[in-house]
Every structure is written in C-alpha cells, then in structure tokens.
Structure 1
Amino acid sequence: MRLTAEEQKMLDGAYGETVKRSMKVLVALGEIYGADHMIEIKNVHSPGVSYRVAGNAGLGYVEDASKDATFRVPLTLNTIGIDAQDWEKIGFPEEFARKQLELSEAYERMGAIPTNSCTPYLNGNLPMFGEHVAWGESSAVAFVNSVIGARTNREGGPTALAAAITGRVPAYGYHLDENRKGTHLIRVEMELKTDKDFAVLGYFGGKLAGKDVPVIEGITRRPTLENFKALGAALASAGAVALYHVVGFTPEAPTRQAVIGDDVEPVIFDQAAYDKVCAKFSLKGNVDFVVLGCPHVSIVEFEEIANLVRGKKLKSALWVCTSRMVRDLADRMGFVKDIEDAGGEIVCDTCPVLCATLTQRGYKTVATNSGKMAHYAPGLWKLQPVLLNTWECIQTAIDGKWGE
C-alpha cells in the first residue's frame, strides 16, 4: 500500500506500540481487499463494546490500548451489555456488569463518547453526505450509508478501534464509487404505512440481497426517519445489507437509472410477499414479553408509546430500549413516568440482542415491532416472536396475549 509520511510514521512506531499495531491491522486489511491507499475518516461508531461480545480477550486488548493511546477522531460507543445506571434494579448479573463497566471505562479513557446506542445519528454523531467514516453496528451502518450517504464499510470491533486510533481506513468497499451501485431491484406494489411494514420489506429484501445492494422502487410516500431505521435494521439482520437505495428518497438514488440502470428485472414485493414474511413471525396466545426499541427508540416513538399506555396497566413485561440522551429528554416531557406508571421498563445503554441474558425471568414469547429483534429472538433467547406494529405491541402488553 502507498502510505503517506504520517501513516508510515504510525506504522514504524513513532507514536507508540498501540498506534503501530493498529496501523498494521489496517494495512493487512487493505492488502486483503486490494486497497492501494488509506482514507482519512471523520469519526467512528464502535461495535463490539458489549462485554457479551468482547469477552475477557476484548477487555484485555482495550485496557492495554488505553495505556498508551487516545483516539484521533471522535468515537461513539454502540450498545453495551447492561443498563449502566440501573443494572441492579433490572436484574443484570453482577459479575457481568462489573466486567462491562471496566470495558466501558477503558474506552472512555481513550476519549470515547459513551452514547451507548445503536442509533448514534440520534445522539450527536451525524456525518455529512459523502464523508468517510468507520462505523460498526449493522443497522447504524445501513442508515449512515443509505439515508445519510456517508461512506463506511461494516466494521468490526477491532478494526473500528484501529480506525479511531489512527484516523484512517483502507480504501476499499463502500468507500469507492463503483461499489455503491445497486445489484437487486425490488418493486413495492403495496402501501407501506407503519414501521412494521418497513421492517417486513427489510426482511424480504435482506433475504433476497444477502450482502449485496438492493434498490427499492415504488414507494410513493416519503419514509420517516423511524421508517428508515426499521427498514435498514431488518435488511441488515435478515441479510447483511450495509447499503440500500430507495428511489426518489435516499440521496444517491434520485432515479433508478442513477443506481442500477434499466436492464434489471424487478422482484415484486406485494401483499402476498408481505404476508409470507409475517407468517414466519406469528403466534396466538399468551405473550409475556414486549420489546420496542431495536434499534433504539427516538423521542417521536417515545411519545407514541407514552400516549398508548397512559392510564393503562400492562399484563406483559414491556421494555422500551433507548439511549440515555433520549431517555433524559423523554423524562423531561413526562413520557418516562407514563410508561413506568403503566408497568413498563425503560432500558438504556443496551438492547436484548447484545445484553446479558435475562432468561431467569422465564420469558417464552415476545412481541416486537422490530424485524431485527424478531429475527434474532429465537436463536439468542429461545423466544417465540410475533412481529406487530407499535400499537398492536402495546395492546398485547395490556392484554397479556395476542390473536385470541
């Protein structure tokens, strides 16, 4: 690879062993993917910060790095494995919680911003169109590449850490124009109204596209931020989609021709395709757990949930997962009290996909509006999922059951 003088100094150890080791990681990665130079990045969103993922090996690595290096660019933290303030109250295991706090503190010593969220774009990390960044967390990568039009590959914990320490990534993948074109065309032939609708489309598209770049046409109403969040999370979990285009609404797709051309045969997403996905995540009967906020809820979603539960009492356990920043705002607006008075729990900093197991609660079924949560719940927690829209999730929590 062609390195600048500054990059060569990093590789030669002029800035210490951790910087040297980080640059070696990035050079090796670049050589694997055929990159011939490095790109300067503006910021990092780091995955792999949950102790459930990192383990003792990851904890030791970050603690060692924190002794002689700091981050060259801003770095926000993805969800960790606990609620950092209320882990005892919620019931996270103590030994796990202590290890998680040690890992978080090591990142913070290096200059990390402890957003502890899978929606960094709602918590101060909002790149500009065309900027090069190094992000992990599958749903956040899909959002920043697609909705914002910044550029990142799907970074893992070690490469994101190396990128933050050096301020560089190798020039390959979605950093390059030629790799940002579409590969599959999906034509939507039904009206999409709710976040669930967009999650179902995302699940369909993820299964179709795999690791490639789907282009979606036929959507006539501008999606909301929350719609895009649901769409990208499902695309990234049902497949491994890091970039998608919605014709007329995402910044690199003013027309279909701009991203995929005219000679690609579309795959149809209609009511029959929608129903087939929903049938995969359906159940009738008692539901003991309801989860909203995978990815983390926005303040708009917080208000919707609060309005639905105000003055009610819940029979099912309800988690509303969010960042600490959004929770504090919701608290000021009275939404936290509404939800907690109904019997719901506000869970910050973490999510059910990455947190320590709460199987001691004995949950067997889960209702969610998240395609990502519905996809992972059976394998991770042995929970039978049902995929619903938000108001149906709340009604399920009030009744303690669905479909009867």
Structure 2
Amino acid sequence: MVLTDEETAMLNGDKGAAVQKAMQILVALGESFGAERLVAVNNVHMAGSSVLVAEEAGTRFVEDIRKQGGKFVTRVTTNPTAVDPSQWKEIGIPESDSILQTRLTDAYAGMGANSCNTCIPYLVGNMPRFGEHMAWGESSAVVFANSVCGARTNREGGPSGLASALTGRTPEYGFHLKHNRYGKFLIKVETQLRDMTDFGTLGYFAGKIAGQDTPVFTGVATTPTLEDLKALSAALASSGSVSMFHAVGVTPEAPTVEEAFGGRTPDKVLVFGDAEKAAAEAALNREPSDHVDWILVGCPNASVQEIREVADALQGKKVHQDVALWVTTAGAMYAMAERNGYIKTIEDAGGIVVRETCPFLARSRVIAPSKGYKTLTTNSAKMAFYAPGQFGLPTHYGNLGRVMQAAIDGVWR
C-alpha cells in the first residue's frame, strides 16, 4: 500500500501507541484485500459494541486502547449492546453481562463515541451522505447505507471499525470502488409487496441466491417506506452476505437497469412472483405448532412508526398472559414514542419496549430457557432466519397484523 506522510507517521508511532496499533490493523487489512491506498473517513458505526461479541478479551482490548490515550477523530455511533439499561434483570439478562457491558460502553464513550446503541444509526442522527466513504459495521446498516443512501462502506468488524475511528482512514477496496458496486444478477419482482414483511421476504429469497453478489430488483414500487427498505436490507444481509442492492427507480445508483449493471449483462435473471413469495414465507415458518410464547417486533430496531403501529394494534386490548411481547428500539426512538404515548399503551397492554439491545446481541440462549420460551414469533425475516440456529428457537413468521393477533390470542393462526 502507498501511504501518505501523515499515515506513515501514524504507522511509525508518531501519534501514539493507540494510533500506531490502529494503523497496523488497517494496513494489514488493506494488504490482504489488495488495496492500493487508504481513504479518509469521518463516519464509523461500531459493530463490536455488545459484550456478547466482545466478551472479556474484547472489552479489555478496547479499555487498553483508551488507556493508551486513544481518541476518536471521526463521528462514531455504536451498535446495540447486550443490556437494556433499565430492565435487564426483569427480561432475564445475566448480571455479569450488565457489569461487563458498562465497562465496554464506558470505554467507547470515553474515546468519544455517541453511545446510541442501535442498529439503525441513520435514524438517530448518523445519516450517511451520497458518495461518503465510511467504515460501518452491522450488516443491515451497511446494506442500507450503500444502497438507500449511496454511501460507500464495506462490512467492518469491531477491530477495523475501532482502527478507523482512531485514524480517520479505511482501506480503499470493495464497495469503496465504483466498479465493485454494480449489480451482478436481476430479480424481476412480479408480486405485490404490501408491507415491510413482504420486503423482508424478498430479501430472504434474494440473499439465499446472491451470496456476496449485488442483486438488482425491478418491479419494486417507487414509493417504499423507510421501514420497507430497512427490512429488505436486513434480510439480504442475513440469508446471504449481501452488502448492497439496487432497486431500479428507487435507489440512487439505479435510475435505469443499464446503470445498475454498469452496462454489463446480468449473470442471471430470476423472478420473484406469488409462488416464490409463498415458498419463502413457508421456509421462514419453522414451527409447526400454534404455540406462541415470545414475540419480537423491531429487528432491525423499530422506528417510531413501527412502535406506533404496535400501540395501535394493542389499544384497548391485552397481551395474552402466556406471551412475552418485546418491541426493541433505540433510546432516541423510545423517547419520541414515549412522548407520544405509545410506550404507555404497549406497557398497559402487557408488552415491553426494550432499549439498546436485541435478542441477537443479548444472551438469548440464557434468556429463553430461563423464561421458558420455546418458540419465537416475529414479523422480521432476519429474526426468523437466525433464531433457530442462534437461539435454538423455531419461528412463526408473518406480517405485523398477524403477529399482533398472536400476541393477543396466545396462538398462531
């Protein structure tokens, strides 16, 4: 790699041990991917923010960087933690996780991070600009940033994100380069996408086919909601390792099919019609019984609009006594929803709104058996895809109306 004089000084230790270690990480990463240089960034979303990911060793590593004088030189937001700050004990999170999480969160905050603790940083003040080079972790946020915003980022892990935050640099490879951002195959959407769950189902279908390739969609309505695109991004990054998609006439780098593919011919052309949608939905419904006990809305974290829809569904009703309803969200979304009365409506009905964590980044393999949960019911394709393997919980999957009816009735219909 060719480094500037300033970058060479960082690598030589002229700006301290923390920056030197960070530059060593970035140079090794860049060379492994064949990057020719580093590119300046001023925006990092930190994936390694939960102690479920970092554990004791990762927490000590971040603490040591801070003790060495590490200071973030970029905007930094943090991914969900392993702990709800006020309800961790009630929802079954181990105290040891709470103690360790405080250490990790304090270490990041002490170096200058905005501890928003959410997988939707673009809704809490960190909205990427078109063409902006960034170093983001959290797979669903990476897809959203690259695709919906037109920003440029690879999927960064905890160490590489930390290194970028300390140096303001990231290696220029992958999705930082225009020629790597073109589509590889075409999916013709020939069925109606009615809500965010349908968009998630499309993402699940496409991700399984895509692997790491970038899909291009035609036939998507030109006015999808933010929640629709959030669900599509999350599902693509779950069933596949997708980092970007194009929706012709919707996303900024795909005004036409030709521009989405960079003038190339698609490697393959597929159809997503009624039959394909039904088959994908069936594949995500892995629990044959009607048993319902743990219901999750908010993966990725719920927007205020999603919280409002849950509250509307519960107005004047009660969550079944045998059901635990979680709505997971960011602290900022919680504050706005609380001001509007949505939190009270959900809590009065018997549900809970969980902040700053989610089943993926909390210790759900401890929570589920301690609470006696045997199934997980959700409107999130990402959650439905991961839950059987990660938590050992088979899933019911459907749109929000169906999920909320299950919360009230206590059975899956």
Match of 1:398 among 396, 408, 412: 408
Match of 1:278 among 276, 281, 291: 281
In structure 2, how many angstroms separate the alpha carbons of the residues matched to 1:262 and 1:241?
A: 19
In structure 1, how many angstroms separate the alpha carbons of the residues matched to 2:104 and 2:330?
A: 18
1:344 aligns with 2:351: yes
Provide the residue aligned with 1:361 in structure 2: 371
Segment drifting more, 283-292 vs 121-130: 283-292
Residue 265 of structure 2 aligns with an amino acid whose one-letter code is D
Match of 1:296 among 262, 281, 301: 301
- 1:212 is displaced (CA, Å) by 1.0
Residue 57 of structure 1 aligns with an amino acid whose one-letter code is A
Residue 390 of structure 2 aligns with an amino acid whose one-letter code is L
Moved over 6 A (4+): none
- 1:262 is displaced (CA, Å) by 6.5
Kindly provide the CA deviation profile for residues 47-106 of structure 1, in whole angstroms up to 9, marking residues without a partner as x.
011101111110110000011110010110001011123212323111111001111111
User: Is the CA contact (8 Å cut-off) linking 1:84 and 1:101 kept in structure 2?
Assistant: no
Gaps of 5+ in 1: none
User: Is the CA contact (8 Å cut-off) linking 2:223 and 2:250 kept in structure 1?
Assistant: yes
In structure 2, how many angstroms separate the alpha carbons of the residues matched to 1:103 and 1:243?
A: 30
Provide the residue aligned with 2:167 in structure 1: 166
User: Is the CA contact (8 Å cut-off) linking 2:203 and 2:235 kept in structure 1?
Assistant: yes
Provide the residue aligned with 2:224 in structure 1: 223
Provide the residue aligned with 2:329 in structure 1: 322
Match of 1:370 among 376, 380, 387: 380
- 1:180 is displaced (CA, Å) by 0.2
TM-score where L is the length of structure 2: 0.96
Q: How many residues align?
A: 403
Q: What does 1:182-197 align with in structure 2 at a 5 Å threshold? A: 182-197=183-198
In structure 2, how many angstroms separate the alpha carbons of the residues matched to 1:168 and 1:221?
A: 35
Segment drifting more, 200-209 vs 356-365: 356-365
Quickly say closer, same or farther: Cα 1:217–1:313, change in 2 above 3 A.
same
In structure 2, how many angstroms separate the alpha carbons of the residues matched to 1:89 and 1:397?
A: 19
Gaps of 5+ in 2: none
User: Is the CA contact (8 Å cut-off) linking 2:42 and 2:73 kept in structure 1?
Assistant: no
1:255 aligns with 2:262: no
In structure 2, how many angstroms separate the alpha carbons of the residues matched to 1:285 and 1:213?
A: 37
Residue 310 of structure 1 aligns with an amino acid whose one-letter code is Q
- 1:221 is displaced (CA, Å) by 4.0
Residue 308 of structure 1 aligns with an amino acid whose one-letter code is A
User: Is the CA contact (8 Å cut-off) linking 2:222 and 2:250 kept in structure 1?
Assistant: no
Match of 2:338 among 331, 342, 349: 331
User: Is the CA contact (8 Å cut-off) linking 1:77 and 1:115 kept in structure 2?
Assistant: yes
User: Is the CA contact (8 Å cut-off) linking 1:187 and 1:217 kept in structure 2?
Assistant: yes
In structure 2, how many angstroms separate the alpha carbons of the residues matched to 1:288 and 1:160?
A: 37
Aligned to 1:340, the other structure's residue is in SS state helix
Segment drifting more, 182-191 vs 255-264: 255-264
TM-score where L is the length of structure 1: 0.98
User: Is the CA contact (8 Å cut-off) linking 2:206 and 2:236 kept in structure 1?
Assistant: yes
Over the residues paired in the alignment, what is the CA RMSD in angstroms?
1.0
Segment drifting more, 147-156 vs 34-43: 34-43
In structure 2, how many angstroms separate the alpha carbons of the residues matched to 1:263 and 1:250?
A: 19
Aligned to 2:90, the other structure's residue is in SS state helix
Quickly say closer, same or farther: Cα 1:28–1:262, change in 2 above 3 A.
closer
- 1:36 is displaced (CA, Å) by 1.1
User: Is the CA contact (8 Å cut-off) linking 1:51 and 1:80 kept in structure 2?
Assistant: yes
Match of 1:387 among 384, 394, 397: 397
In structure 2, how many angstroms separate the alpha carbons of the residues matched to 1:122 and 1:245?
A: 21
Residue 96 of structure 2 aligns with an amino acid whose one-letter code is E
User: Is the CA contact (8 Å cut-off) linking 2:222 and 2:249 kept in structure 1?
Assistant: no
User: Is the CA contact (8 Å cut-off) linking 1:256 and 1:262 kept in structure 2?
Assistant: no
Aligned to 1:39, the other structure's residue is in SS state strand
Residue 48 of structure 1 aligns with an amino acid whose one-letter code is G
Provide the residue aligned with 2:311 in structure 1: 306
Percent identity between the two aligned chains: 49
In structure 2, how many angstroms separate the alpha carbons of the residues matched to 1:220 and 1:250?
A: 11
